[in-house]
């Protein structure tokens, strides 16, 4: 089971400037499937750049309808369905991504929803796909339908917070995570609505106590100020190995099973 980051930037300005890439991440060889999570701008290009095959995706998970998370979803669906010629793959997304919510979305057209299996996921919903179970986790974010993911295979839990600010019940949502991937946009004391700061992620990691914590979706200020010094502090304070993802980073998850 392999985790690979096709991008680690988050937020409008890190995305527009491409200070880091914005392709989301892949989990390959999980229960015989390959999963692409949050394909932001460039996801298709980065897939090829890092030697992966977009046609080999079986599941596409899209947490919400902000461009840094959903932008390349349609073109990856075209890859997954062999150019929309075959019924294939499973797309799981938030209400806003699949159906639209007020002014936002849908992020995937009806045409692109016609070939894969499509599931709208809300926090608390559980969907089974073969040997993999996906559970929606709650968020507090600008897109109110944004949903995080608990990806369970054979009792092994990979959790992804998606975009959310810290709230007291967040740890409960991610209880039992073996690997916890968090969207962390900045460091410092000043709060930013709808997003986690490094100090929030530290609190979450401390409460959840996963085997491995990874922060991604880094904003411009965090990228420029050396995210590694933050993860060193989080590791020291929580006792949990915490890393800041870098573009292209590959992790073999078998060691954490
Ligand atoms: Zn967002």
Structural domain includes residue 154: yes
pTM reported for the whole predicted model: 0.98
Number of domains in the chain: 1
Strand duo 196-197 + 33-37: pairing: unpaired
How far apart are the C-alpha atoms of 257 and 255, rounded to whole Å?
Answer: 6
How far apart are the C-alpha atoms of 185 and 10, rounded to whole Å?
Answer: 7
How far apart are the C-alpha atoms of 237 and 231, rounded to whole Å?
Answer: 10
Residue 72 Cα to ligand 1 middle (Å): 15
Q: Residue 99 CB: number of other CB atoms within 10 A?
A: 16
Residue 3 Cα to ligand 1 middle (Å): 22
For 156, the enclosing helix (H) or strand (E) is: strand 156-160
Structural domain includes residue 152: yes
Q: 228 with 244: CB under 8 angstroms? A: yes
Per-residue pLDDT of the chain (257 residues; tens, 9 = 90+): 999 999 999 999 999 999 999 999 999 999 999 999 999 999 999 999 999 999 999 999 999 999 999 999 999 999 999 999 999 999 999 999 999 999 999 999 999 999 999 999 999 999 999 999 999 999 999 999 999 999 999 999 999 999 999 999 999 999 999 999 999 999 999 999 999 999 999 999 999 999 999 999 999 999 999 999 999 999 999 999 999 999 999 999 999 99
Residue 257 Cα to ligand 1 middle (Å): 30
Residue 183 Cα to ligand 1 middle (Å): 9
- The CATH number for 49's domain is 3.60.15.10
| Domain coverage including residue 24 | 2-251
Structural domain includes residue 202: yes
- Cβ neighbours of residue 51 closer than 8 Å, sequence gap 6 or more: none
Q: Where are the alpha helices (DSSP H) in the chain?
A: 12-17, 43-49, 67-70, 73-80, 95-98, 170-173, 198-208, 220-224, 227-238
Tell me how far CA of residue 146 lies from CA of 85, 136, 140, 203, 217, in angstroms: 30, 9, 8, 21, 15
Residue 56 Cα to ligand 1 middle (Å): 27
Residue 144 Cα to ligand 1 middle (Å): 10
Structural domain includes residue 257: no
Structural domain includes residue 44: yes
Structural domain includes residue 256: no
Residue 96 Cα to ligand 1 middle (Å): 12
Residue 199 Cα to ligand 1 middle (Å): 19
Residue 163 Cα to ligand 1 middle (Å): 5
How far apart are the C-alpha atoms of 49 and 45, rounded to whole Å?
Answer: 6
Structural domain includes residue 109: yes
Tell me how far CA of residue 91 lies from CA of 34, 80, 111, in angstroms: 12, 10, 13
Residue that the structure tokens 């962390």 belong to:
184
Structural domain includes residue 181: yes
């Amino acid at each position: 089971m392999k985790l690979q980051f096709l991008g680690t930037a988050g937020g409008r300005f890190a995305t527009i400037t491409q200070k880091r890439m914005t392709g989301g991440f892949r989990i390959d060889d999980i229960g015989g499937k390959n999963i692409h999570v949050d394909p932001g701008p460039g996801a298709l290009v980065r897939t090829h750049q890092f030697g992966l095959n977009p046609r080999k995706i079986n599941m596409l998970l899209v947490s919400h309808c902000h461009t840094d998370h959903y932008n390349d979803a349609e073109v990856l669906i075209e890859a997954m369905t062999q150019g929309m010629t075959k019924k294939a793959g499973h797309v799981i997304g938030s209400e806003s991504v699949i159906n639209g919510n007020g002014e936002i979305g849908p992020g995937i057209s009806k045409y692109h929803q016609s070939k894969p299996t499509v599931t709208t996921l809300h926090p608390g919903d559980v969907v089974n796909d073969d040997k993999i179970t996906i559970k929606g986790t709650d968020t507090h974010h600008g897109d109110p339908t944004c949903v995080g993911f608990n990806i369970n295979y054979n009792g092994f839990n990979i959790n992804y917070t998606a975009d959310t600010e810290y709230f007291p019940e967040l740890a409960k949502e991610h209880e039992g995570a073996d690997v916890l991937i968090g969207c962390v946009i900045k460091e410092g004391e000043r709060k930013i609505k709808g997003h986690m700061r490094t100090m929030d992620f530290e609190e979450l990691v401390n409460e959840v106590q996963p085997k491995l914590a990874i922060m991604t979706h880094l904003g411009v200020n965090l990228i420029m100020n050396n995210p590694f010094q933050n993860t060193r502090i989080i590791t020291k304070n929580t006792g949990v190995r915490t890393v800041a993802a870098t573009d292209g980073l590959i992790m073999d998850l078998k060691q954490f099973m």
